[in-house]
Each structure stands twice: as structure tokens, then as C-alpha cells.
Amino acid sequence: MNFINSYARLPEHFYAKIQASNAPEPELIAWNEELANHLGLNELDADETMLARIFSGNEPLPGGKTIALAYAGHQFGHFVPQLGDGRAALIGEIVSPVDGGRYDIQLKGSGQTPFSRNGDGKSSLGPVIREYLLSEAMYKLGVPTTRALAAVSTGEDVVRESREPGGILTRVASSHIRVGTFQYFASRDDKAALKELTNYAIARHYPDAASVEQPVLAFFSAVVEKQAKLVAHWMALGFIHGVMNTDNSAISGETLDYGPCAFMDEFHINKVFSSIDQQGRYAFGQQANMAQWNLTRLAECLLMLDGEQQDYESLLDLFLPAFEEHYFTLMSKKLGLTNLIDDDIELITAWLQHLQDNQLDYSLSFRQLPSCLDNSEPGTFGEFEARWLQRIDKQAGGREEAGRLMKSSNPVVIPRNHQVERAIEAVFEDDFSVFNELRQVLAEPFTKQPGLEHYSNPPQSHERVMRTFCGT
């Protein structure tokens, strides 16, 4: 296996050397064979017992180095100068033999670190199952994201609102550098570290930026573009991240931290699920603004190194137009439009308004809309329908092409909260059937899978999940 552990070679105040704590009776409850092969981890040649020991932290990953990363962050707008990996351990950095990409392998919930503050450093099995399902679904839906390699139950309870079984998730990310990592050094006025971090991030994620005249600005510009694309992707899928604090905003442009997140059932532009987001700061429709807010915080850090304020301002001004272009392009495909013309933005807006006014299910409506193409169910979508059909009939390929495009652009199944909750409740009773079925169905989200159709359904009124929790 090809370990590099490059972050552990950065200056010592970038992280703390740690040991993961001992899980009394680790048991492997999920292993992502496909991802393991991608990382070359099949070479471990370990049985389930050994995998459970490694991915609970009881046994070091051969060749890895275990560290907890330092970072700061704005949480709901308030700056906290020290957060850091309080319940996570980076156990190694590996180069994929398949694509040559570098990946962090991190345990989440493996015990206290110097950054734990008052927390126990552990995790309940609930959030482990949640992140496993949601991050893997996100990946299969084609959105940049951290992934899940393994889930382990620890054999000990953690105390949350009640006693719950403990778990550890193994997260794989192309790095764990966050906007908050830059803030950590900027707020300490540690320019040397900031410079080193920036060079490291450029080399790791945006190597093209290294060879231009102003690498730091080029780096920033690339991050802006990645974030614009990411949030556009989320919103086209009806995804609400829920806690877009700067410490949860990855420089790589991957979705990071699946806490109180949700895929929307019925559409509402201001939808909030998170129990801790009282003001709706991270409501569905706020996400582009919030990403831009986070990027502004990153710009403030980078400005300490290089460039003029107005350079950063001009790049920040490009964020919303870039976001809109990505978003409306994705949305037009979801509506079967092969290209985006000016009037389409109004058409897309009218569609969303129709969904909202009629409290319609977001994902399901995109799958039902094509039934209007052959007039099998005329009038289902009100005034919007005629207008949309007129537009489709004007484009090359007509209704047939539109139908094909919609099929490949709209998932049959998304990880709906009520199903995820059902999976967690069953796992608490030692029943892994729902979890495993969900893993199976979400591995091919654009394909109808016989016998698993019910995972596409929106919740019935008694199944609706109104609030989601951080799981810390």
C-alpha cells in the first residue's frame, strides 16, 4: 500500500499526534469493498475481525500515522479560534493505485483528542449509519463528496439524549483542509504557517495554480469555482447541508460533514431541517449565499499573503454567476432541455413555484413529469405543463430526447430521512436489513430495482421527519 502521510510532515502545530482509544468490542457492520479496492486496501488481506480492529483504531493501519488536525471556524456566524478534530483521527494518507489520487483515511468517533474540549470524542451509531448512507449516496449521485469506507460498532454505549450504542465511521476524503484551517493560522497571525498551508493545498488540490503569476489568487479562484459547482449540484438534488460553517467547508470542493443534512421531500425554498439552525441561516435557498460568505472568510485569510482586496472582491463577485450557470444548466437537464436558453430560467422558476404551491415531492415530481410527454396523464402539473411541453416541442429531438435526458438526470431514489431513520432504528435492534437494502438501492440511484421500489416513496404523514440532529 502506498502511504504518504504528507500532512504529518507539516509543522507540528498543524496537528496533534494521537492514539485512537480502544473500542472494547469492535464489530464491522459495513465494509465498502469497491472503495477499498480503489484505495488498494485489498492488500491488507485482513479478515473481518482485523478490519474491525483497524477501523476502530485498536490496531494502527500498517504504514499510517495517527494525527488530529487543528482548525478554527465560524459556527453560525460566530468565530471560534480553536475547533479541530475533537472526535476524529486521521490514520493515514494513501495514494490510490487506480487513479493516483491521494486520500485521507479518517476515523470519526474514535475517542478524545487534544481538540475535544468538553466532548467525549465518540459517536453514536446513529450518525455513523447516517453519514455512511448519505455520503455514499451523494457519491453515486455524481456529486463531489467524502466517502465511507467502513462502519464499526464499538461495543460500548455513548451518552447522548439517552444511552446509545457507539460507532466509528471511516471517512475517506481527498483531504480534510477546510476554510477553517486557514482561519486557524490567520487568526493567530501566523503568516508562515498560512503560507505553508496554502502551498500544500495548491500542490495537493490545484497544482495548475502553482505555475501562474499569482498562485494564491489562482488558488482562490479555483476554490470559488469548485464551491459554486458543489452548491449547484446540492440544490439541483434538493439537498440541504444544514451546517455550512466554515469548518465544514472543504477546500477540495467535496461535501464535508453529514450532520443535520437532508434531501428534501416536498419542495420549499426556505426549508430547514436542522434542530440547531433556529434562524434558518442554512436554509435550502440560502446555500449559495452562505458558500459565498464562507469564501469571503477564506479571502480574508489569503489576503494576508498576497494580492489586493479588489482582486479578491472581483473573484468573489464571480461566485453567484458561476453558481447560477451550473445550477440552471443542471435544472434544465432535469426538465429535459438539451440546452439552456434565456427564457428557461423563468420556466425553471415556474416549475419550482408550482412544486412549492402544491407541496409536491421534489425528486418524485421530476420522475413523474415525463408522463405528460405522451399525454398519458395530462393536466397533472397545472399551467406549467402546457408551457413546458411547448418548449420541449421546439427543441431538436423533441419529446423522445427530453424523456431520455430526464431519466438519466433524475434519480429514482434518494436517501430520504424517514428511511435513514428507519435504518438507524433497526440497527439499534441489531437488524441490518434496512441499512443493507438502502446501501444496495442507493448504489444505483438512477435505476429502478425490483422489490426495492418503496425506497423511492415520500414519507407518509406519520413517517415525516421534521427535524434532524447533529449527532454530536
> Pattern of binders to ligand AMP over 249-268, x per CB under 6 A?
--------x-x---------
Between the CA of residue 243 and those of 80, 223, 246, 397, 450, what are the distances in Å? Answer: 15, 19, 9, 41, 35
> Pattern of binders to ligand AMP over 57-86, x per CB under 6 A?
--------------------------xxxx
Query: Is residue 108 marked as binding?
Result: yes
| Cβ-based nearer residue to Mg ion, 202 or 256 | 256
Q: Does residue 472 touch ligand AMP according to CB under 6 A?
A: yes
C-alpha cell at 15: 496537528
User: CB-based contacts of 337: which residues, under 8 Å, 6+ apart?
Assistant: 344, 391, 392, 395, 402, 405
CA-to-CA distance for 43 and 40, rounded, in angstroms? 6
Give just the sign of the alpha carbon dihedral 56, 137, 259, 423. negative
Please answer whether residues 197 and 17 qualify as being in contact, where contact means their C-beta atoms are separated by less than 8 angstroms. Answer: no
Identity at 244, one-letter amino acid code: M
Q: Does residue 92 touch ligand AMP according to CB under 6 A?
A: no
CB of 245 to Mg ion, least distance (A): 7
> Pattern of binders to ligand AMP over 110-129, x per CB under 6 A?
-----xx--xxxx-------
Among 248, 410, 417, 468, binds ligand AMP (CB under 6 A): 248
Q: What is the DSSP string of 311-364?
A: HHHHHHHTHHHHHHHHHHHHHHHHTT-SS--TTHHHHHHHHHHHHHHTT-BHHH
Residues that bind Mg ion in the complex, under the rule CB under 5 A: 248, 257
Identity at 455, one-letter amino acid code: Y
- Confirm whether 247 is a catalytic residue: yes
Query: Is residue 467 marked as binding?
Result: no
By a kind-dependent CB cut-off of 5 to 8 A, residue 121 interacts, out of Mg ion, ligand AMP, none, with ligand AMP
Choose among 302, 247, 244: nearest CA to 277.
244
State the catalytic residue, choosing from 104, 247, 311, 361: 247
C-alpha cell at 130: 447516517
CB of 174 to ligand AMP, least distance (A): 18
Query: Is residue 86 marked as binding?
Result: yes
CA-to-CA distance for 289 and 295, rounded, in angstroms? 10
CB of 221 to Mg ion, least distance (A): 25
- Of all residues in the shown chain, the one whose CB is closest to ligand AMP is 119
Give binding residues as ranges: 84, 86-87, 108, 120-121, 171, 178, 248, 257
Active site amino acids:
247
Give binding residues for Mg(2+) as ranges: 248, 257
Interface residues with ligand AMP (CB under 6 A) are 83-87, 115-116, 119-122, 247-248, 257, 259, 470, 472
